[in-house]
Amino acid sequence: MKNVLLTGFEPFDGQALNASEEIAREINEATIVRHRVIAGLLPCVFGAAIKELKHLIKLHDPALVICLGQAGGRSGITPERVALNLDDARIADNAGQQPIDKPIVKAGPAAYFSTLPIKAIVHELRKHGIAAEVSQTAGTFVCNHAFYGLMHELTLHRPKVRGGFIHVPFLPEQTTGQPSLALERMVEGIRIAIAAAVEYRRDLKAVGGQTE
Ligand code: PCA
């Protein structure tokens, strides 16, 4: 059976939980469309996040890599379209680093596109009544950093492996005033996203992720 590597991030910015870590843990060892899901956890640290991701890829030799991160304030599940070659941190990471206007890979391309079928994922999620939208920016913090590191690694060394990044909202217990989604709903959503990534060899042509 082929492996799918699914990573979450540890909590950051003084928070007690990270929704992405909780989701990845719930799906660990699941079998989805004949693929075995292996969950990993990335440190919310510039540099170390990419190092751990490369280590997990080497260890598990996945056919597909999906990295999850939490984007507090968003109301749906948001597959990211593009990773920028840029670190520009509004807050310090978990090691106290706060890079400003720094390239992730010197002389690397300005950006990489996700190779996940992002619009098909949005379509499938909405079909199941789960709020979803294609996102045009993963920000410039550690999530975008890991996403860029992932796409750079796959492009250079594993061109047949598809990969990308999905941001998720807060869990209800993490917030009072902001949007959130229940853990079971997000677990269902990410399982649907993995199945879509395996089954759609080509993305849907749709406007902004909307198909109807
Ligand atoms: N979200 C942050 C980093 C870790 C996470 O879960 C981000 O969006 O960059």
Q: What is the pLDDT of residues 59-112, one digit of tens each?
A: 999 999 999 999 999 999 999 999 999 999 999 999 999 999 999 999 999 999
pTM of model > 0.85: yes
Q: What is the pLDDT of residues 130-188, one digit of tens each?
A: 999 999 999 999 999 999 999 999 999 999 999 999 999 999 999 999 999 999 999 99
Q: Which of 80, 124, 133, 188 is catalytic?
A: 80
Separation in Å, CA 64 to CA 20, 23, 115, 140 = 18, 17, 10, 24
CATH of the domain at 108: 3.40.630.20
Number of domains in the chain: 1
Query: Is residue 80 among the annotated active site residues?
Result: yes
**Nearest atom within ligand 1 for CA of residue 144:** 9
Q: Is 12 in the pocket of ligand 1 (CB under 6 A)?
A: yes
